[in-house]
Amino acid sequence: MTKENKKCPNCGHEFKQGEEYCPNCDLFIPINEQSELENTLDLNATKQFKTFKEKDIEKNVDDTHKEPTFKHRGETAESTKEKEQEEIPPVTEETNKNTGDTFVAEKEEPSVECNQIEETIYEDDLANTTIVSGQNIAKDLEEEFKEITSEETLPSKESQVLSDESIAKEESDSTPDKKKKGKAIIGMSAAVLLIAGGLTFYSAQQKKADEKATTELVSSAELNLNSLYSNSDHVFLKKDISAADIEKANSSLDKLKGKDNYNELKQDFDKVEEKFNKQKAMNELFKSPIIEGDKLNSKVFVKNADHIAINKIATEKDGFDILYNKGFAEAEEQKELLSKANDALESIYKDDKVIKNATRDQYESAEKAIKGIKDADAKKDLQEKLEKVDKYLVENDKKQAELAAAEEQARLAQQQEQQQNNSIQPAQNNNNSNSNYKDTDSKYKWGNRKDENIDYNDAAWGWGPGVQEKVISEVISRGYVTEGGYNLVPKYVENGEGFYDLYATTNSKIFPNSKPEEFPLYVVTINAKTGWFKGNGPN
């Protein structure tokens, strides 16, 4: 029969020569080799438990042979004896009902049971453990810890600080269930330390992740802010900047709220947003943007002559402010010219029609004001309205001229008729009874001819327009007669034209010394239609 080697009841380790206790478990030693003086347990020398498979015990332990008896190093001989007595069931006698025989139940040998602690964690596994979620592990650990402590209250921190002898005595007096719980608590403590370390590692990793995320957000915000400017000087905004660009920069900045970098970047954003709002308000005054990047487009025109709602920058701090004020001055100048032209035109053209009392002087003033407008489209629109005014004035002037001519013609006709009546009356008197209007001497050609029968209703005696006034003015200027000192006498009709003889009735330049009784004196003969006149004088 082969010699049975000593094995550890906990892990199955075969004891070698000279080994007093299991090098793996450190707690169990053979009873026959343990003296009463070795009851004290050295916790500092105790190694951590390691799990093993129960099937490994079944493989290494032969149930047909009795294992050497082992006891815990912290147990005394008396406690070991008491434990064995508790584990041995009492011997009872039973009678076989069939045979009446009495037999004594055989004493069962206590089997070696290993309290497998599933909660124990391998040292090698600890290094490879990956913390997925520190919060979930802590939660599971808390629930498991509650289940254990629900049966027995854990000792306080003060009660846990015991001397080596107190711990040894407590372990020797503990029941197997309490020892099992104690082992679980030890494993639980190791797990707590592992979780604490894991949480610390997780916290550190989370902090690094947060810092990295913050750095990325800062970089993104700075990039979006920088992209709003035309260059690194951060003075002029980029060309074609839009409200969407500002919103994008603001959104990336909002993600940094609560971070250390937020306030500084927010100040930068406020500056660029202020410039954007000023530039936008300025560009909206014109039909197309006047400020583009760092350039001022002088070939743009204001939309209308409305009052400018924005203000000029009082103190220019940088190139943008200077550019803004130049745009403001351009807007003021164009709006003033447009306003003057509109006001001038409105005085003669309003509500899409020409004002009736419009004058040519008003038209010329509006025309001058419109010429000063830079915007070709606005100028064209005003000129079209001005042309309507000009057309109206031309037509009105024509009507006024025609009316004036008609009035003048009527007046002349009336005057002519009156003069004819005045000249015909003396002739009639002369023909009838007055002999003062004699024919001239026969040796003179003019002044001797006279029709025998004169029809004063004949149209031949009518004066041509303005002829009578012109002839009388001429003979007076020559001194032939004086104003009011003459008379016209119808004499004859030739080719449908009547001829009058002009007689002086008072002294004149050519008749300065004539006596009153010598008058009337013949002067000239006048064609009533053409104004031709001729006398017997040398000229």
> Could you report the per-residue pLDDT of 493-503, keeping only the tens digit for each?
999 999 999 99
Distance CA 318, CA 236 (A): 9
142-155 burial code (b ≥16 CB/10 A, e <16): eeebeeeeeeeeee
Question: What spatial distance separates the first Cα and last Cα of the chain, rounded to whole Å?
Answer: 195
Q: What is the chain's Cα-based Rg? A: 70
For residue 306, what is the DSSP state? P
444 three-state secondary structure: coil
pLDDT at 393 over 50: yes
Give 357 or 156, the one with higher predicted confidence: 357
Distance CA 439, CA 65 (A): 200
pLDDT at 312 over 80: yes
pLDDT at 343 over 90: yes
Distance CA 248, CA 211 (A): 23
Instruction: State the average pLDDT for the chain.
Output: 74
Give 15 or 113, the one with higher predicted confidence: 15
What is residue 304's predicted lDDT score, i.e. its pLDDT? Answer: 92
Whole-number percent of the chain with pLDDT over 90: 36
pLDDT at 436 over 90: no
Give 465 or 443, the one with higher predicted confidence: 465
Whole-number percent of the chain with pLDDT over 70: 62
pLDDT at 286 over 70: yes
Distance CA 118, CA 187 (A): 9
Residue 297 pLDDT grade (very low, low, confident, very high; cuts 50, 70, 90): very high
Structural domain spans, the chain: 1-116, 227-346, 435-535
pLDDT at 392 over 80: yes
523 three-state secondary structure: strand
Give 408 or 247, the one with higher predicted confidence: 247
Residue 98 pLDDT grade (very low, low, confident, very high; cuts 50, 70, 90): very low
pLDDT digit string (tens) for 112-155?
343 443 333 333 443 344 334 444 544 555 565 555 545 444 44
47: tokens are: 């190694």
Residue 446 pLDDT grade (very low, low, confident, very high; cuts 50, 70, 90): confident
Residue 489 pLDDT grade (very low, low, confident, very high; cuts 50, 70, 90): very high
What is residue 214's predicted lDDT score, i.e. its pLDDT? Answer: 77
What is residue 404's predicted lDDT score, i.e. its pLDDT? Answer: 86
- Helices within 433-484 (DSSP H only): 467-477
